[in-house]
Amino acid sequence: MSEFRRRRFLGVTFTPLPLDDAVGRIIARDPAAPFAFVVTPNAQHVVAAHSGDDRFAEPQRAAWMVLNDSRILSLLSRLLFGADLPVAAGSDVVLRLFERGVPADATLTLIGGDAEVEAVLRRRFGIRSVARFTPSFGFWKDPVEVEQCLAFVRAHPARYVFLIAGAPQSEGLARRLAETPGVTGIGLGVGSALNFLTGRIRRAPRWVQQANLEWAWRLALNPRGHFRRVFVESAPILWIALAERLRTVRQSA
């Protein structure tokens, strides 16, 4: 982990790399090296880790890279602390990775997803070697099924392991894989990034992203599914950031 400069912000130790630098490091990593993983926390994940939820905090501490998925976090960092926190959103990381570093002969392993996602990866990108294991809903509560996931990844060595089980299940599984002897490759816990990549879910237009309004776009598309995520699980980041700013001012006074 010491190979990267780190920056601690609101309780999370980020790898403050811009998108292209982060993707370049992922592509350049030796595929035969022991398994390492990338997490891309957004405001919701930072709030959870800040509140002491180890399901988020522990994988963030163990990750090879902790990339900033949130333009809101970047904005708060710049406005309140005068420090740059580049955005390397998980969806953009995956898109750029396929543009630059996933040739047709690359090996992929998917934990989660369905036959349609796998078929689109094969058809659109010409990927020939895709191994997929889709655990049941709630698998993380069953130690036997978790072990099945670990065994499947170990039995199907891949350059890239996409963990599509939702947060924090994907991150927790990645941490377990990093602790499992004999596993290689890079794990990417990137939420719905493959759904964006394959066109199953429409991504917000670029101007919406640049205006820091992607959260509003998703809320408008799925108000029932995103209301709690935006207003209950993510909104506290504003108070956390302001409290940290006040603490910093008092310490420097």
Tell me what pLDDT residue 194 has. Answer: 77
Task: Provide the residue type at 34 as one letter.
Answer: P
Give the pair of three-digit tokens for residue 176: 């377990």
pLDDT of residue 226: 74
Given a cut of 90, whether residue 245 has pLDDT beyond it is yes
**38 falls within a domain:** yes
Report which of residues 198 and 112 the model is more confident about: 112
As a whole-number percent, the residues of the chain with pLDDT over 90 amount to 59
Q: Select from 97, 80, 69, 86 the least CA-distant residue to 4.
A: 86
Rounded to whole angstroms, the Cα distance separating 197 from 190 reads 11
**Full-prediction pTM beyond 0.85?**
yes
Range of the domain at 194: 7-252
pLDDT digits (tens, 9 = 90+) for 81-101: 999 999 999 989 998 998 887
Asked if residue 1 belongs to a domain, the reply is no
The answer to whether residue 237 is domain-embedded is yes
How much is the pLDDT for 34? 95
In a domain, 2, yes or no: no
Q: Which residue has the higher pLDDT, 120 or 56?
A: 56
Percent of the chain with pLDDT over 70: 98
Please report which confidence band the pLDDT of residue 49 belongs to, taking 50, 70 and 90 as the band edges.
very high
HSE-up of 102 (CA within 13 Å, CB side)?
26
Q: How many domains does the chain have?
A: 1
The verdict on residue 120 lying in a domain is yes
The verdict on residue 180 lying in a domain is yes
Residue 236 pLDDT? 94
Q: Which residue has the tokens 């964006």?
A: 196
39-57 burial string, b = 16+ CB within 10 Å, else e? bbbbbbbbbbbbeeeebbb
- Please state the rounded mean pLDDT for residues 161-184: 92
Strand 36-39 to 12-14 pairing:
unpaired
Q: In this structure, is residue 109 part of a structural domain? A: yes
pLDDT at 191: 65
Please compute the mean of the pLDDT values over residues 163-176 and round it to a whole number: 91
